[in-house]
Amino acid sequence: MIFESWLQQLSHFNLVTLFVFFLAENAILLFLSIMLGKIIEYENTKLNKTDRKWIFSTLMCNTFITLLGYELYLFEILKIDFTPSLLSVLADMLLLIFIMDFFMFCFHYLVHYLKWFYPIHQLHHTHVETSVYSLFVLHPIETFGFGIIWLFSITIFHLNFISIIIYLILNLLYGIFGHLKTDIFPGFWSKNPFTKWISTTKFHADHHKNEAHNFGFYFTIWDKIFKTIF
């Protein structure tokens, strides 16, 4: 497989070179995220000077997480399936989305209700009116927390590389859409029996305005189960 061969080729480089490579990769994703935000709502995509250091620290933290994930792969702690079937791609993708959403809901709930953790998370909530930049305004401890959840999830399950890539794309898009001011989801979304379980831009925007509710990321189901939905 081309992707497997490419990962093996990277093993010939030292840690510094790998870090620079992964830094460039994450920087490109950051740039594309901001560009998408500008396309959707240009006037709302304005960078606050005080947020620059936090966006940069999130970029660095995400790079460390990527490098750690690659090292786990090299040491065969993190195992990836490079010969998936169509069924396994679909099954792994749904499993990953479901598991990650539950773990992140739990983590998000805890950062709000643990007295020692909330001051850390409060940095993110300095953005009451959100934009694409809000996605990257996180304390390093929180960024690493989400990173550990991600690495733990893909390590305990033997997932295929296509599902992992699709999930990463969807996760980034949902992070962007969840922090926009413009709700890109149609009005019927929260009322339709098939789509009301999937969160919207408004769902997360309401969390930034009322922090005691709406802790979920992709689905509303956990908030409905634990009665934290707004």
Q: What is the pLDDT of residue 1?
A: 67
Q: What is the pLDDT of residue 219?
A: 96
- Cβ(77)–Cβ(152) under 8 Å? no
- Cβ(143)–Cβ(62) under 8 Å? yes
Q: What is the pLDDT of residue 112?
A: 95
Task: For residues 149 and 69, give the distance between their C-alpha atoms in angstroms, rounded to a whole number.
Answer: 12
Task: For residues 54 and 121, give the distance between their C-alpha atoms in angstroms, rounded to a whole number.
Answer: 12
Q: What is the pLDDT of residue 190?
A: 81
Q: What is the 3-state secondary structure (H, E, C) of 188-216?
A: CCCCCCCCCCECCHHHHHHHHHCCCCCCC
Residue ranges per domain, the chain? 1-184
User: Count of CB atoms within 10 A of residue 14's CB?
Assistant: 7
What is the residue-level pLDDT of the chain in tens, covering all 230 positions? Answer: 688 999 999 999 999 999 999 999 999 999 999 999 999 999 999 999 999 999 999 999 999 999 999 999 999 999 999 999 999 999 999 999 999 999 999 999 999 999 999 999 999 999 999 999 999 999 999 999 999 999 999 999 999 999 999 999 999 999 999 999 988 888 888 888 888 899 999 999 999 999 999 999 999 999 999 999 98
